[in-house]
Structure 1
Amino acid sequence: MVSLLLSLPAIFSALAFVAATIALALGSYLGMRAIFGHHGDSERRELAGSVIFRVSALHGLILALVFAQEIANETEADNAASHEARLVADTFYDLERYDRETTLQIRTALAHYARQVTDVEWRLLADERQLDSAAWAHWNAAYEGALTLHGDTPRHEVLRDNILRNIREISSLRRTRETAAFHGAEPLFLIAALVGVVLTSAAYFTFEPTRLNILLLSIFASYSGLIIYFIIAFSNPFHAPGMASPVGFERILEGGIGQLAGGGG
């Protein structure tokens, strides 16, 4: 159900989350009034206010912490992809500096790797949370080719060391992207967030369901629902609507790397 909602345009999926949270909040409030009566004496309201303050504070803290964690995960995946793209470009041009003709096959493998990541692997990480085997094959071809390079001169030796180090680091960054895709939103957090909405809303049962009170309760639920939506949207950095785009790879494919990669891998 959640996946279906997230597949909708962002504005509609956000409104659906907000509407569901408002319904949950108002249902909790009205259900509590139906069970415990409508008496709103000052003693009850004072106790309810104390409970509301404490529960809502904890609820807000949980939302803030998890939201910050999801943003950090998104940033880490984005930074890893950008760094990976820079390494691909640095390695590609270091191979040209080593010897343009000798390294053509290695550079072609790197170019196809960049194309495969952009055109195929990004969607695979979004839908199946796994790396693409064809991209691994292109990486492996580049790595095997780099291992055959010889450090015949000090210049070649330095370039070979840089090339091998960069290609190995590309593998590590690929794993970082895969880990970010598997991160996801914790089910226990979702339970805690929804329970926070229910308990906070239910604690208002001592207050009359006037138009103003219903509006204020709806505002609280709307904002809570929106934050929950953002957290779920950012739980997979490669899936819309909160996806990180492969901008770094798209940029390097605009130049010579893209020309060598052709239309696909």
Structure 2
Amino acid sequence: MSSLPATLGIVVACALLGVVVVLLKHKFFPTKPDDESDAEPADYIAMMISVIYALVLGLALVAVYGTNSDAATDVQTEAGALHQVYLLADALPPASEAQVRSTTDAYAHYVTTVEWKRMADHQSLGPEGWTLLNKLRDIYQSAPTNKPAEQNASQEALSQISTLDEARMGREQDGESTMSPVLWIGLYIGGALTVGFMFAFGVKRRASHLIMVMCLSGFIVFMILLIYQLDQPFSGILSVGTGDFGSYFNNT
């Protein structure tokens, strides 16, 4: 489910499966006149299930969209702060400037090549990135700042490193968090009940029944896959990429 063709293939396959079930239902269990008496209770129950399921879908979408949006914001903030730390090294003595430049490059490279894979697997980031970040902080704190420009640059860089630190912690939490299993259970059961009640109506016209079940089953599967993709902020079709780091650091 990490590619668009695979996702569309699953949606189409589930819609076609609904068509097959409808055909089998009309062949082996045709609608009888007595079934019309059960249509009104089934209509009421189906309406209630549909409303509740719509609420569950909305709750799940809001939850995963918020996580995905927070991940994008944290990555953008982290990359921007790291770039500012890189630029502020211009005001430092040559030796300290070279240390800052090499450390920021190493940090960006490590984040995009090692940590991104770990976040895609919902693993912890590990200590290496924090070590590089602490090294940056130590360089600015220990760099000789005899001139006002050097002092101002050092203070601003330390402020940016604090911002980078917070954004990094947020990115780590975004990579480890997943949607509650209770919501997943509600999505699966609610989807099955919603589609299942389409067979409780005494629909005599097979073509109409086919269209309704095919569209409903395909749409529900699409929504579940969309929620799944949004729940994977660092992998899949809708994942947050490394473009923010790549736009500042060419070696990433």
Task: Name the TM-score class by shorter chain.
Answer: 0.7 to 0.9
Q: Which runs of 4+ in 1 moved over 3 A?
A: 17-28, 37-43
Tell me the distance in 1 between the aligned counterparts of 2:73 and 2:139: 27
**Pairs within 5 Å for 1:1-265:** 6-7=1-2, 9-16=3-10, 19-20=13-14, 23=17, 41-204=35-198, 205-208=200-203, 210-254=206-250, 258=251
Q: Deviations over 1:207-258 (max 9, x none)?
A: 247232132112111101001001111112111122111111000013xxx4
Tell me the distance in 1 between the aligned counterparts of 2:17 and 2:201: 19
Residues 189 and 24 from structure 1, CA distance in 2 versus in 1: closer, same or farther, beyond 3 angstroms?
Answer: farther
Q: CA deviation at 1:93?
A: 0.8
Residues 151 and 39 from structure 1, CA distance in 2 versus in 1: closer, same or farther, beyond 3 angstroms?
Answer: farther
Q: Deviations over 1:114-137 (max 9, x none)?
A: 111122211221124321443333
* Amino acid across the alignment from 2:201: T
Residues 38 and 18 from structure 1, CA distance in 2 versus in 1: closer, same or farther, beyond 3 angstroms?
Answer: farther
Uncovered stretches (5+) of structure 2, i.e. residues with no partner? none
The TM-score normalised by the length of structure 1 is 0.81
Tell me the distance in 2 between the aligned counterparts of 1:162 and 1:154: 12
Tell me the distance in 1 between the aligned counterparts of 2:110 and 2:33: 65
Residues 199 and 40 from structure 1, CA distance in 2 versus in 1: closer, same or farther, beyond 3 angstroms?
Answer: farther
Tell me the number of residue pairs that the alignment of Structure 1 and Structure 2 aligns: 247
Say whether the 8 Å CA contact 1:48–1:206 is kept in structure 2. yes
Secondary structure at 1:206 match in 2: coil
Tell me the distance in 1 between the aligned counterparts of 2:39 and 2:140: 73
Secondary structure at 2:234 match in 1: coil
Q: Deviations over 1:101-155 (max 9, x none)?
A: 4321122111110111122211221124321443333222212212213443332
Residues 169 and 10 from structure 1, CA distance in 2 versus in 1: closer, same or farther, beyond 3 angstroms?
Answer: same
Uncovered stretches (5+) of structure 1, i.e. residues with no partner? 1-5, 259-263
Q: Deviations over 1:175-228 (max 9, x none)?
A: 111111112232211211121122223323132472321321121111010010
The TM-score normalised by the length of structure 2 is 0.85
Tell me the distance in 1 between the aligned counterparts of 2:188 and 2:17: 12
* Amino acid across the alignment from 1:44: D
Q: Deviations over 1:56-108 (max 9, x none)?
A: 12212211221122122111111111111111111111111233443211221
Tell me the distance in 2 between the aligned counterparts of 1:111 and 1:200: 52
Q: CA deviation at 1:168?
A: 2.3
Tell me the distance in 1 between the aligned counterparts of 2:172 and 2:103: 21
**Among the aligned pairs, what percent are the same residue?**
18
Residues 212 and 25 from structure 1, CA distance in 2 versus in 1: closer, same or farther, beyond 3 angstroms?
Answer: closer
Residues 82 and 140 from structure 1, CA distance in 2 versus in 1: closer, same or farther, beyond 3 angstroms?
Answer: same
Tell me the distance in 2 between the aligned counterparts of 1:15 and 1:68: 25
Tell me the distance in 1 between the aligned counterparts of 2:130 and 2:159: 17
* Amino acid across the alignment from 1:70: V
Question: Greater CA deviation, 131-140 or 167-176?
Answer: 131-140
Q: Kindly report the root-mean-square deviation, in angstroms, between the aligned alpha carbons of the 2 structures.
A: 2.8
Tell me the distance in 2 between the aligned counterparts of 1:172 and 1:196: 38
Secondary structure at 1:72 match in 2: helix
Which residue number corresponds to residue 3 of structure 1?
A: none
